[in-house]
């Protein structure tokens, strides 16, 4: 190609392309602003059940310890009474599961299912088969 032709050709983004890109970034930003606090709360719950399991004790003592840990982190989705305790031999495993509904705009919401466990197999126990 001729060097003059190559230099005279303009490149860049059009105004409509810029507006479209900003709209996509805005929607992604709204999702991020709504979802980040929910994931911070989820990680606080996972951390609290791991700490409570290490501390040991009776089920009631572990529930109270969980409530103390989560009150510091302002966790409202799960309380000690919502935890599922299972015993496999000598080891007590703790599980939880909950849904979080995040309003986006108007009557549009985002529903996220969270669950976690201290069981190394990763299987979250249900309240029906647990020893409470």
What is the model's pLDDT at position 22? 95
The residues, ordered by sequence, that sit 6+ positions from 70 with a Cβ below 8 Å of its Cβ are 44, 45, 48, 78, 79
CA distance 107 to 126: 31
When pLDDT is cut at 50, 70 and 90, the band that residue 104 belongs to is confident
Can you give the pLDDT at residue 2? 60
- Tens of pLDDT, residue by residue over 2-57, are 666 666 666 778 889 899 999 999 989 988 888 899 999 999 999 999 999 988 88
| Average pLDDT in the chain | 85
Mean pLDDT of 63-78: 89
Domain ranges of the chain: 36-129
């Amino acid at each position: 190609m001729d060097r003059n032709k190559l230099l005279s050709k303009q490149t860049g983004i059009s105004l409509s392309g810029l507006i479209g890109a900003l709209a996509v970034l805005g929607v992604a930003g709204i999702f991020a602003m709504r979802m980040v606090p929910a994931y911070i709360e989820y990680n606080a719950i996972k951390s609290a059940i791991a700490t409570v399991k290490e501390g040991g004790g009776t089920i009631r003592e572990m529930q109270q310890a969980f409530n103390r840990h989560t009150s510091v982190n302002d966790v409202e989705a799960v309380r000690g009474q919502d935890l599922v305790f299972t015993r496999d031999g000598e080891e007590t495993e703790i599980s939880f599961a909950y849904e979080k509904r995040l309003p986006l705009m108007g009557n549009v919401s985002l529903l996220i299912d969270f669950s976690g466990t201290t069981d190394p197999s990763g299987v979250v126990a249900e309240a029906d088969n647990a020893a409470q």
